[in-house]
């Protein structure tokens, strides 16, 4: 039977590419985002755009209910909505930090809660959480972003074993540097928050690193292909990571290096 997918954050970047890619491969796709005006072009691919603010309870409930009423269930949930809050932990207002977690963590998990009853009833479901290499490795000035992705990874691990008996798979996808609006937004926030504080020097060096990384990024389609690979695998991996050498090398070094040496490696990239 044709499966129904909800892709959040579908107005740009990874979410948009994933929604289009799944629609092109026979899935019934709903794209959710706050900026519905940015999703009108998705209609030409047969995708239904829905207004979705993952931090608003009424919005997430209405979104899921609309799909269930039309299709019977959400078979595949791709939790992609998110953003990167950059800046020194000392500098960032706590209300901003809370919002980071509301979007990247609580929004994703609330959607999972809402789609799970039908998935359990159908004995089928795929929940794909778009994390990051930054869900395993934390760089300075990205503490709250990394905290959100570390949390998403941990919740995915717990959820995976909770729902496995019901025929539901929980899959984590860990992109490295990817072409999207994320980088520009994160850089703007970083400069605004810590560009003129005690962390100005570190901010300048981090901004320069972001600029270098932006010259060698993966296209969003690469992540969309990983999502499709995961949801169509008979026995999916718990995690899928991009094939970028730098990302794989960092993750490998994280597993084998003592913390102090890993810290030295990270800081050496900012010189």
| φ, ψ dihedrals at 137, nearest 5° | -130, 130
| Rounded CA separation 162/148 (Å) | 21
Is 243:223 a contact under the CB 8 Å cutoff?
no
215 flagged as catalytic: no
Three-point CA angle 220, 151, 12, nearest 5°: 25
Q: Which two tokens stand for residue 169?
A: 């798979």
Q: Which of 21, 145, 199, 240 is catalytic?
A: 145
180 is catalytic: no
Q: How far apart are CA 32 and CA 175, in angstroms?
A: 20
159 token code pair: 């959820």
Residue among 3, 11, 27, 240 flagged as catalytic: 11
Radius of gyration of the chain (CA): 18
Q: Which of 16, 27, 118, 131 is catalytic?
A: 131
Q: Is 44 among the catalytic positions?
A: no
Backbone phi, psi, residue 5, to 5°: -120, 140
Q: What are the DSSP calls for 130-150, one per residue?
A: E--GGGT---TT-HHHHHHHH
Collect contacts of 62-65 with beta carbons under 8 A, ≥24 apart: 63/6, 63/30, 63/32, 64/6, 64/111, 64/114, 64/115
What is the layout of strands, in order, in the sheet containing 125-130? 48-51, 28-33, 4-8, 76-79, 125-130, 168-174, 239-241
Active site residue 131: yes
Catalytic residue among 3, 16, 136, 149: 149
Q: Which residues are catalytic?
A: 11, 131, 145, 149
């Amino acid at each position: 039977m044709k499966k129904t997918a909800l892709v959040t954050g579908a107005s740009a970047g990874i979410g948009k590419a994933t929604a289009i890619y799944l629609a092109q491969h026979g899935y019934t796709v709903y794209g959710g985002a706050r900026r519905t005006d940015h999703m009108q072009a998705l209609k030409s691919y047969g995708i239904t755009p829905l207004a979705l603010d993952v931090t608003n309870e009424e919005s997430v409930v209405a979104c899921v209910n609309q799909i269930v009423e039309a299709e019977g269930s959400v078979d595949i949930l791709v939790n992609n909505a998110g953003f990167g809050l950059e800046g020194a932990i000392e500098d960032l207002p706590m209300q901003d930090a809370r919002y980071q977690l509301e979007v990247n963590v609580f929004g994703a998990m609330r959607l999972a809660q809402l789609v799970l009853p039908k998935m359990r009833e159908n004995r089928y479901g795929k929940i794909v959480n778009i994390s990051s290499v930054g869900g395993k490795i934390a760089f300075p000035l990205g503490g709250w972003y990394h905290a959100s992705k570390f949390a998403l990874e941990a919740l995915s691990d717990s959820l995976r074993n909770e729902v496995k008996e019901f025929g539901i798979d929980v899959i984590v996808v860990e992109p490295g540097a990817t072409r999207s609006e994320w980088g520009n937004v994160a850089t703007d926030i970083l400069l605004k928050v810590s560009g003129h504080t005690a962390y100005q020097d570190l901010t300048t060096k981090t901004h320069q690193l972001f600029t270098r990384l932006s010259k060698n990024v993966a296209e969003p389609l690469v992540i969309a292909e990983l999502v499709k690979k995961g949801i169509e695998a008979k026995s999916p991996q718990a995690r899928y990571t991009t094939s970028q050498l730098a990302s794989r090398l960092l993750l490998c070094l994280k597993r084998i290096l003592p913390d102090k040496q890993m810290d030295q490696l990270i800081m050496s990239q900012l010189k």
